[in-house]
């Protein structure tokens, strides 16, 4: 049996490190990678005899439909598992694309300054001022909703936060002694920016990326909920919530289960991002 001391050690470890978020994210990654193996059914197959079937732990439910079935008899668990693949694909592509573009532009703006800095920062201000949902609505009406369109839109609006934060940090790093020493040694501006300043940006970039993944998944769910994101019948979490909202009084599990998946995923990424921010900040680490 665990002693009081061992329970105290376990509690201290869980309190100090993001154990629960990591467990959630590992499970999410496993679902996304092995969705065809883990899903008990095809997420697009429907059985009209199982319409609005309750979860297994509610009277009338079966283990076959562990989380219940939706309004046309599709297995909710299978659709949530395959929905994780779509959410992680969108977030991964957007973070990589937006991060590379944003870090590059922020580094250029912060190190070189002048006209380049002014143009890039005014472009950042423009993107922050444009209402994203309105743009997404217009683009979806003109071109139609699709997975590729969602990734393009989110990528276009995800780079400014990377650019603004990396620019601010670059302005600090370029005044350091090791940068001055590199200049005296005859290093070119591009070499200084890429070899001496860029590595110092990585901690901030990792924190921003982790925090942004949750926001991207939430935004993709909102777009799908509004009907301008991942088109049906693909099992996107947002569209599953939208389809289930009409059953919220008669079959609450239909919108609740994908909603819980969105909540847990966003919570895990935000908690991990906050922990990483505290970990990389020496002042906060001492608290």
Model confidence pLDDT, tens digit, residues 64-74: 889 999 888 89
> How many Å apart are CA 68 and CA 56, to the nearest integer?
7
Distance between first and last Cα of the chain? 33
Q: Would you state the pLDDT for residue 96?
A: 93
Give the predicted TM-score (pTM) of the model. Answer: 0.86
> How many Å apart are CA 25 and CA 217, to the nearest integer?
13
> How many Å apart are CA 273 and CA 214, to the nearest integer?
9
- What share of the chain in percent tops pLDDT 90? 29
Cβ pair 250, 54 in contact under 8 A: no
- Output Rg (C-alpha) for the chain, integer angstroms: 23
Q: Would you state the pLDDT for residue 187?
A: 82
Output the CA torsion sign for 231, 152, 225, 35. Answer: positive
pLDDT at 13 over 60: yes
pLDDT at 114 over 70: yes
**Spatial CA neighbour of 236 closest among 211, 218, 215:** 218
Distances (CA, A) of 13 to 165, 207, 237: 31, 21, 33
> How many Å apart are CA 237 and CA 221, to the nearest integer?
6
Domains of the chain by residue range? 18-39+49-276
The fold of 18-39+49-276 is: MetI-like fold (1.10.3720)
Q: Where does the pLDDT of residue 225 fall: very low under 50, low under 70, confident under 90, or very high at 90 and above?
A: confident
* Highest mean pLDDT pick, 12-21, 42-51, 253-262: 253-262
Q: Where does the pLDDT of residue 4 fall: very low under 50, low under 70, confident under 90, or very high at 90 and above?
A: low
pLDDT in tens, 158-215: 999 999 999 999 998 888 888 888 888 888 888 888 888 888 888 889 989 998 998 8
Q: Where does the pLDDT of residue 121 fall: very low under 50, low under 70, confident under 90, or very high at 90 and above?
A: very high
pLDDT at 78 over 90: yes
pLDDT at 2 over 90: no
pLDDT at 59 over 70: yes
Cβ pair 76, 65 in contact under 8 A: yes
Q: Where does the pLDDT of residue 49 fall: very low under 50, low under 70, confident under 90, or very high at 90 and above?
A: confident
Mean pLDDT, rounded, for 77-104: 92
**Spatial CA neighbour of 83 closest among 268, 217, 226, 182:** 217
Q: Which of 3-12, 87-96, 122-131, 163-172 has the lowest mean pLDDT?
A: 3-12
55: how many CB neighbours lie within 10 A of its CB?
19
């Amino acid at each position: 049996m665990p002693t009081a001391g061992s329970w105290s050690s376990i509690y201290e470890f869980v309190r100090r490190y993001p154990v629960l978020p990591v467990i959630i994210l590992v499970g999410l990654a496993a679902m996304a990678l092995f969705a065809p193996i883990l899903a008990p059914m095809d997420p697009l197959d429907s059985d009209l005899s199982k319409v609005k079937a309750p979860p297994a732990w509610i009277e009338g439910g079966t283990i076959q439909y562990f989380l219940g079935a939706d309004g046309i008899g599709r297995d909710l668990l299978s659709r949530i598992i395959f929905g994780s693949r779509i959410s992680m694909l969108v977030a991964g592509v957007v973070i990589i694309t937006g991060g590379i573009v944003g870090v590059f532009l922020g580094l250029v703006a912060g190190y070189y300054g002048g006209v380049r800095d002014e143009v890039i920062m005014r472009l950042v201000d423009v993107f922050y001022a444009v209402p994203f949902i309105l743009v997404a609505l217009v683009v979806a009406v003109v071109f139609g909703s699709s997975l590729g369109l969602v990734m393009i839109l989110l990528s276009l609006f995800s780079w400014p936060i990377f650019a603004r934060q990396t620019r601010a940090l670059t302005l600090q790093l370029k005044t350091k002694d090791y940068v001055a020493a590199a200049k005296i040694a005859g290093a070119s501006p591009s070499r200084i920016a890429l070899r001496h300043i860029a590595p110092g940006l990585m901690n901030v970039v990792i924190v921003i990326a982790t925090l942004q993944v949750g926001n991207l998944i939430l935004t993709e769910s909102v777009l799908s909920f509004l009907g301008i994101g991942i088109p049906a019948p693909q099992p996107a979490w947002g569209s599953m919530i939208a389809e289930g909202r009409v059953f919220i009084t008669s079959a609450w599990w239909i919108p609740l289960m994908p909603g819980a998946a969105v909540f847990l995923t966003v919570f895990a990424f935000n908690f991990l991002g906050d922990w990483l921010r505290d970990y990389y900040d020496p002042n906060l680490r001492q608290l």
